[in-house]
Amino acid sequence: MKLLVGLGNPGKNYSQTYHNIGFMAIDHLAASLLDDDKGKHKFSGDFWQGRLNNHSFGLFKPMTFMNLSGVAVAKALNFFTCELNQLLVVHDDLDLPFGKIRYRQNGGHGGHNGLRDIISHLKGGDFQRLKIGIGRAGNLAPAKQVLSPIHPEHRVSLAPLLDMTNDLLSDFIEDRTLQVPPVFT
C-alpha cells in the first residue's frame, strides 16, 4: 500500500494559507478518487483508504500541527507496515516559485519544520516528496509568509495546480514515473 501524506495545520484559521497546500492537495485527491471525501480520524489525523486500478493507497493529513507531523506519520506508517519508499509527503516549498512542482525521492528537510519532524521520527529521509512552490514574498519573514492567506493572484491558478498534483499523485499510486512539468503557473 502507498501512503500519501499532505502537510498543513489544522483549524479554520490556517485552512487557506500557503502552509496548507499539502492538505489542499490531499483533500483534492480524496474528492476526485473517493466517494467519501471526509476522512476518518485515525493516527492523530484525517485518514482515507482506497484503491485505484487495483493499487491500494492511504491518504493522510496529520492534525498535530505542521511542526509535530512526525508522530502522526510514524503511527500511520507503522500501522500499515509501509516501507519508507511507499511514502510520499506533499508539502509547500518557499524556495520554489509559486506553482512550480518538484519531485524528490529522498533528501533532507531543507528548512521545512514539518519534514524535519518526520525525518526525526522515521529516523531518516528515505521517503518521497512532492514539493509545491509557494515562492518568497519580498521581505516577509518565512514564518509569517507561510501562515498568510494565499494571495488572490495565486488563488486563480490554485485549482489547475491541484489538478496537476492529482495527476502526479495518481501516477505515484499506480507505480508510474512522475512526469513533473518544468514550471506550472
Which residue in 19, 28, 91, 112 is the catalytic one? 19
Overall size of the chain counted in residues: 185
Catalytic residue flag (residue 28)? no
Measured CA distances, 157 to 150, 151, 184 (Å): 11, 11, 9
Looking at this protein, which amino acid is placed at residue 184? F
Give just the sign of the alpha carbon dihedral 79, 87, 133, 161: negative
11-20's contacts with Cβ under 8 Å and 24+ in sequence apart are 14/147, 16/149, 16/150, 17/146, 17/147, 17/148, 17/149, 17/150, 18/92, 18/134, 18/145, 18/146, 18/147, 18/148, 18/150, 19/66, 19/92, 19/146, 19/147, 20/92
Residues that are catalytic: 19
